Structure 1
């Protein structure tokens, strides 16, 4: 799954790179140290080898003689893995000389074909002694006298000493690199977080704009993101001008049509011809249609902008106060949870939708009208899949309610189920049209109070 946080991406990539770099660095340093230690170990064995060579001669009885003193007690302690051996080869037949540390043990010889002599006529190889020690052997062959008597000289050192030294170095290196790596990763994380703080500032400024607390991106931003903030401010300003222009054009159109339609209605009322009622009805239909489409144009102009914001609780409280004055015999209750809930709608559209529902509920209620506002759970959504946050507004009364077939009839424009009550029959259809323009939904059912329940699903500002 893609990581959507820029901070986490940078931290993850830098952490992986730093970890890989530390591992590669540690392996490289350990390898170089091992090679250097092995060269030093071989140099030590070479020096001991030449000490043995300088200490051994051929005596008058044509036998090997000499007692090398290498200054290392390990050559005199048994089974230590540190030995020296001088063996006659070729026609030279005599007893070999062996360090006391080898005793009666043996030290296998690797064939020359497997490990040949170098240009110094020396060779180094690893083998195991008869006691199980892994040893590094330095070997050469030397002519001892003018008669051509030749001997093979070998000095062996226990590789456990070398491995212990290398392992101790690796442990110390791992500790040092771990401390350095953790400190470096911490400083790297702090540097990244500090470097990305301006983006958090830009995000907070955008949140203020969406919440209606600000009209532009404010603050000091680094040179790298200053063009972005400048373009965003220009886009917001352009969007605001478009909305204002649309509102002005809608208002101009409304004013230009309002007077002619009003004249037609007045003339139709005073005329006493058979056609006056037809003229009046058509003028009222024109007035209704013009108002409906003007509302749609206005809503479409500002629906997706950051300017359409309405605080639910105070808006509904104002509507409730008006309805209590108009219908003093009814009880109106309001329940909003959470209290701070902001709809992504114009205030006049919220007032018109909920106001129409309240008016219908108050007209048919016996004694009580209830409004319940809730943040919609995850399973409730509008038809617009791009939106993620919704709220539900339920308006119900304790009146007679409607049957399922009556609900479909009531939603049609101009339909009235009870002609004895005042009204035009346009309320529910207007609510449905406004709600649909905001990608919300309107549904009718029988409520818990026994009467009609109208459920609105409306977009919430985030």
Structure 2
């Protein structure tokens, strides 16, 4: 299962994404504004030059002569990207020294093309931005066409240079903003880290309440958690006391009923006696089951539970090996070092005790207990035997309260039910399968202790 992303990382990623979006948007807007501004400047310069060209040009007898050169010397450099031409009805009357190629061709003029208007046309050295103006020197003749243009590449070079500088500037600004945002988020999240450390200390059993002073936004949460911890501790104590009271209160009536059943049996009322004894056993089974469950629920709510799997397994095996010594059973314990499960020690003893005892009852010669860590912060504990095992259809039935598949052997049918309830209450799972030894294998998965 994939671990959820931390709130700190989410905030940093969100801030980075938002800053990056803002930098890209700023780059697009500023670049576009600059391009529009520079393009207008280029055209304004062309308008000034075409007005100067019209002022200096004299058209006579199909020729145009300038009284002086244009003030911009770039029109005198061959293929410089700065050109002008004077045309009349398609004929070139004069052109700039920089112009050595074919005449410039502009789109046909419309009636609305009065004064200076602009075009984009093909030029000698690339696409041209041109300004065009018509002037009627003689009302009886076609107008004189003044054309002046600049290569678009000059505009593109200026815009590219600006975009490059803008990119580096915004990148530096964006990175500095990301670093500042990350530092601000880390500083703001420090109280939550302290809160997590305090909660860990409470869960691990080092502390009973969370100490320390927190910001005003977090302190009410800490106060409420401390109050809840005190309340839970009190509820746990009450639950344990009530479970004990119930068990103690029912022991005496059950003992009296059992004694009366035996007296009936001595009087020859075997049927009535057996019925009462059977019901007393069922009641005792349910009392044991429910009181154990109540105790475990209370233990589960208690923070900081942890049990050493190797030590508990060794203790249980040591006790049971003496019980089954007369059968010569071989008990094997193969548990990795430093394995701790999030479970009360006495509850883990009850889980392993029920399962190992059940394996010992049916094993021929061997019982093996193994444990190791698995993915997902879980501890896997398995109990295997070389007995006759169980058919697959019995793997779930035997977990029911009071159910026994082998009615010939001693037992109340309560051990496996209690074991499953204990494992489930601690957030684990338990299942049965065929063992590699030939018998039954019980596999338990419990959360590892923090």
**Range into which the TM-score falls when normalised by the shorter chain:** 0.7 to 0.9
- After superposition, residues 369-448 of structure 1 pair within 5 angstroms as 369-375=367-373, 389=378, 391-394=380-383, 396=385, 412=403, 417=408, 425-426=411-412, 429-436=414-421, 438-439=423-424, 440-441=429-430, 443=432, 448=437
Counterpart contact for 1:292–1:430, Cα < 8 Å: no
Distance 2:405 2:390 in 1: 18
1:123 to 2:117 alignment: yes
1:455 aligns with 2:446: no
In 2, the alpha carbon distance for the partners of 1:66 and 1:409 equals 114
Structure 2, unaligned stretches of length 5 or more? none
SS at match of 1:352: helix
**d(CA) in 2 for partners of 1:198 and 1:21?**
30
TM-score scaled by length of structure 1: 0.74
Deviations 1:385-424 (A, max 9, x none): xxx946333153x6x6567599989984697635xxxxx5
Looking at structure 1, the residues matched to 142 and 384 of structure 2 have their Cα atoms a distance apart, in angstroms, of: 119
Question: Post-superposition shift, 1:56?
Answer: 3.4
Contact residue 85 and residue 92 of structure 2 kept, 8 A: no
1:107 is matched with 104
Separation of aligned partners in 1, 2:422 and 2:192: 34
* 2:309 aligned residue (298, 312, 333): 312
Query: Against the structure 1 CA distance between its residues 149 and 293, is the aligned structure 2 distance closer, same or farther, given a 3 Å change threshold?
Result: closer
Contact 1:401 1:446 in 2 (8 A): no
Would the aligned equivalents of 1:333 and 1:371 in 2 still touch at CA under 8 Å? yes
Q: What secondary structure, in the 3-state scheme, does the structure 1 residue paired with 2:414 have?
A: helix
The gaps in structure 1 that reach 5 residues or longer are 379-387, 419-423
Task: Out of 402-411 and 150-159, give the one that drifted further.
Answer: 402-411
| Native 8 Å contact 1:376 1:392 kept in 2 | no
Q: Quick check: 2:371–2:382 contact (8 Å CA) kept in 1?
A: yes
Matched residues in 1 for 2:291 and 2:346: separation? 13
Instruction: Tell me the equivalent position of 1:250.
Output: 243
CA deviation map 1:112-150 (0-9, x unaligned): 328733xxx333332223x353222233356779x9998
Note closer, same or farther for the CA distance 1:264–1:124 as it changes in structure 2 (3 Å cut): closer
C-alpha distance in structure 1 between counterparts of 2:31 and 2:68, whole Å: 35
2:224 counterpart of 1:231: yes
Q: CA deviation at 1:303?
A: 4.4
CA distance in 2, matches of 1:276, 1:213: 60
Per the alignment, in what secondary structure is the counterpart of residue 109 of structure 1?
Answer: coil
Name the CA distance, whole Å, in 1 between partners of 2:231 and 2:398. Answer: 43
Query: Which residue of 1 is the match for residue 352 of structure 2?
Result: 354
Cα 1:369–1:156 shift into 2, 3 Å: closer
Q: Once the 2 structures are TM-superposed, how far is the Cα of residue 248 of structure 1 from its aligned partner? A: 1.0
Give the distance between the partners of 1:307 and 1:84, measured in 2 at CA.
89
Give the secondary-structure state (helix, strand or coil) at the position aligned to 1:176.
Answer: helix
Give the deviation of 1:28 after TM superposition. Answer: 1.2
Quick one: structure 1 residues 260 and 414, their matched pair in 2 at CA, closer, same or farther if it must change by over 3 Å? farther
**CA offset at residue 205 of structure 1?**
4.2
RMSD in angstroms over aligned alpha carbons?
Answer: 4.5
Name the SS of the counterpart of 2:371 in structure 1.
strand
Give secondary structure in 1 for the equivalent of 2:383. Answer: strand
The structure-2 alpha-carbon separation of the partners of 1:62 and 1:347, relative to structure 1 and needing over 3 Å to count, comes to: closer
Provide the residue aligned with 2:20 in structure 1.
19
Contact 2:106 2:119 in 1 (8 A): no
Deviations 1:153-176 (A, max 9, x none): 433222222221112222222233
Q: CA deviation at 1:442?
A: 5.7
- Asked whether the 8 Å contact 1:51–1:68 carries over to 2, the reply is no
1:97 deviates by 3.5
Kept after mapping to 1: 8 A contact 2:398/2:416 = no
How big is the shift at 1:67?
3.5
Residue of structure 1 in register with 2:131 after alignment: 138
Please give the alpha-carbon distance, in whole angstroms, between the structure 1 residues aligned to 2:102 and 2:441: 102
How high is the TM-score relative to the length of structure 2?
0.75
Q: CA deviation at 1:106?
A: 1.0
Q: Which residue of 1 aligns with 2:11?
A: 10
SS at match of 1:96: strand
Q: How many residues align?
A: 432
In the alignment, which residue of structure 2 is the partner of 1:76? Answer: 76
Provide closer, same or farther for how the CA distance between residues 454 and 296 of structure 1 changes in structure 2, counting only shifts above 3 A: same
CA distance in 2, matches of 1:149, 1:352: 113
- Could you tell me how far 1:41 is from its partner in structure 2? 1.6
1:337 is matched with which residue? 336
Contact 1:52 1:68 in 2 (8 A): no
Change (3 A) 1:3 1:179: farther
Q: What CA distance in whole angstroms lies between the structure 2 residues aligned with 1:446 and 1:128? A: 86
Structure 1 CA distance, aligned partners of 2:318 and 2:3?
49
